[in-house]
A and B are shown apart, each in its own frame.
Chain A
């Protein structure tokens, strides 16, 4: 993959927090920001950023996707090109895929070659969070301590488009106190798929229930992943089923902030004395 290599550790990056993290899961953004800062990276958050346009692209609306892609490039492009930041970091494999794979495609097909090339240049310095921590910073362990049992779900865009898999697994293995268990059928999609979850909600939910079933069978307290969209889907299913297990973004574990910032998990229908919710009590 054509990723930039850094002669020395980068000093400053732009945070592309993604609209979902911004509005729904700020704790994931805070964790991302703090993780980077702890490791000596100055974080710049351009307030103009909104959404990368993936929902439009995914649904087939390329004009609208280009409209938002142009906007993204106009915000992040100059920052990188002027050397104001050395990279773009995002806590989402899916949004990173949109900006670093599909932007080129949609501008190429519209014959907007300048933008396509700009997208290509930005792609080489755009990193998903764990990819940045491990590949660029060479981090072995985040230094977090969490008591509990976890399993890892490789989100499709991260796993199959960006080919990032070892990095999050390595960081999780380095979390003290955390026992990692195998997730059966781990690389099966959770069924989110953006608009698919609405348009084909029955199929999507059936896939989500399969994922939830395997997660629970794994015996893990939490199913860790690198995308809040898939997290929303899996948690939506788990919550509806009244399960105690839930999905969690990796940044929150790595930043050691469990228990203090989490959305409260849904109350189970019946008291479960023999199955304490020790996850939320930890930290």
Chain B
């Protein structure tokens, strides 16, 4: 079942909760990735690695402009063409222009969240180009016309049978349930596209400032094909994806691979430091790097800079009990899970555009423990809630409720009186209904829709205390 990510939040969640296949697929895969992460981080001094990567990323943010300029300088020195894109429209224009100027009509892409963020495929297709995703997971969801539902495992929401159905329908594949057959078919189809493509596009897992190098990690080798076979290669990178030195790059690579898939190292790590030089056997003739802001500098300015430390490993999604229940599409944005609940609103021009997301969490903190950069996601979610209230984006009724609660709790007299009243009325109710409270009026009906509520105690603790003192 496909969740319409443009439907209202409540509908998306309802749809997701009603889909037991989705839950089964998501929790199976996320549990597996979590086990792999724990094993991989446990095999080394995982906590030290986390602390070091965080320190390095914090250092970058403190000297962000300097490192960006250093990166730009070194990219140019290596012969890359550097573009700065402030927002979605700029980034789309830049990439479109590169394609049109080079007469490319087929574009192959390696998996990239940054290009999802700027809806690049749609923009290029509207300009008449054909765009082919070459990561197997991305290829499947492109065929199914769905957005990715996980940062590193885009097709996590689909079971094998569902993928087979997509292949049968879109690629005329004879019915099979064998993953290897499906993979072989995709591989054959994609091989042709790599040869024919006039342009390759990837994201960027990290860029090394001191050498002007773009790094992408993949397990299928498609990233290397995209970055080396077509005549033109474009890397779209979020401006926070920067590391100072080669050493730092390998530090981050460790954290990324171990946290994302539990690998010591991905099968491929492709590093591009400029176009083909005279005498090189292969490589692209042009290398373009699009440095994408799209709300990132604003995030830092608005107090959500900590989320810029994120290296997009997806570990927080895998441990999140909310993500396990509803999957990625219910979040309705490009990013999902705990980090998505922070950066979707924080990257948006108005955080209120994603006002439900900071509340789509029980704040259990499992994400913070999994994060290889130790991002305090619960704290950021609480800050977003506070900002929503300050911007007047919270429901009026909720505001009155909280103000009323604060007033009652500010006065011992009111607290005791209302406590007594609640005790008498809830016990009357409970006695009538035979035990627990099963129906409450809105908004508390949210509770009783799924669970009972115990009545207030006939005698409060403080009454017990006072009576005991008198004895």
Binding site for B on A (CB under 8 A): 17, 19, 21-27, 29-30, 33, 45, 47-48, 50-51, 53, 55-62, 64, 67-68, 71, 105, 156-157, 160-161, 187-189, 191-208, 210, 232-233, 235-237, 239-240, 263-264, 266-267
Instruction: Tell whether, in the assembled complex, residue B364 and residue A198 are in contact, meaning their CB atoms are under 8 Å apart.
Output: no
Q: Which residues of B contact A29 (CB under 8 A)?
A: 461, 464
Contact of A53 among B385, B386, B406 (CB under 8 A): B406
The answer to whether B399 has its CB under 8 Å from any CB of chain A is yes
Expressed in whole angstroms, the Cα–Cα distance for A236 and B463 within the complex equals 26
Instruction: Tell whether, in the assembled complex, residue A60 and residue B389 are in contact, meaning their CB atoms are under 8 Å apart.
Output: yes
Expressed in whole angstroms, the Cα–Cα distance for A157 and B449 within the complex equals 26
Expressed in whole angstroms, the Cα–Cα distance for A189 and B359 within the complex equals 15
Instruction: Tell whether, in the assembled complex, residue B325 and residue A206 are in contact, meaning their CB atoms are under 8 Å apart.
Output: yes
Residues 217-245 of B at the A interface (beta carbon under 8 Å): none
Q: Which residues of B contact A210 (CB under 8 A)?
A: 321
Expressed in whole angstroms, the Cα–Cα distance for A62 and B462 within the complex equals 28
Expressed in whole angstroms, the Cα–Cα distance for A193 and B462 within the complex equals 26
Contact of B406 among A19, A45, A68, A161 (CB under 8 A): A68
Return the CB mask of B407-450 against A: 1 if under 8 Å, else 0. 01111100100010011000000000011101000011011011
Expressed in whole angstroms, the Cα–Cα distance for A71 and B407 within the complex equals 12
Expressed in whole angstroms, the Cα–Cα distance for A62 and B34 within the complex equals 35
Instruction: Tell whether, in the assembled complex, residue B364 and residue A189 are in contact, meaning their CB atoms are under 8 Å apart.
Output: yes
Contact of A58 among B363, B443, B463 (CB under 8 A): B363
Instruction: Tell whether, in the assembled complex, residue A68 and residue B409 are in contact, meaning their CB atoms are under 8 Å apart.
Output: yes
The answer to whether B33 has its CB under 8 Å from any CB of chain A is no
Contact of A266 among B389, B412, B422, B435 (CB under 8 A): B435
Expressed in whole angstroms, the Cα–Cα distance for A45 and B460 within the complex equals 13
Instruction: Tell whether, in the assembled complex, residue B446 and residue A201 are in contact, meaning their CB atoms are under 8 Å apart.
Output: yes
Nearest CB on B from A153, distance (A): 12
15 A-B interface contacts by CB (under 8 A): A23-B423, A25-B457, A26-B460, A56-B405, A58-B363, A58-B382, A64-B403, A71-B409, A161-B365, A193-B364, A196-B363, A200-B13, A236-B450, A236-B451, A236-B453
- Using A23-B419, A240-B451 as known contacts, say yes or no to A59 and B362 having CB atoms under 8 A apart: no
User: On chain B, which size bracket covers the interface?
Assistant: 35 or more
Binding site for A on B (CB under 8 A): 13-14, 17, 321-322, 325-326, 358-366, 368-369, 379, 382, 384-389, 394, 398-399, 402-403, 405-406, 408-412, 415, 419, 422-423, 434-436, 438, 443-444, 446-447, 449-454, 456-457, 459-466
Q: Which residues of B contact A47 (CB under 8 A)?
A: 412, 462, 465-466
Q: Which residues of A contact B459 (CB under 8 A)?
A: 26
Q: Which residues of A contact B419 (CB under 8 A)?
A: 22-23
Instruction: Tell whether, in the assembled complex, residue B321 and residue A264 are in contact, meaning their CB atoms are under 8 Å apart.
Output: no
For residue B323, which residue of chain A has the nearest CB?
A203
For residue B358, which residue of chain A has the nearest CB?
A60
Expressed in whole angstroms, the Cα–Cα distance for A202 and B446 within the complex equals 8
Expressed in whole angstroms, the Cα–Cα distance for A105 and B389 within the complex equals 17
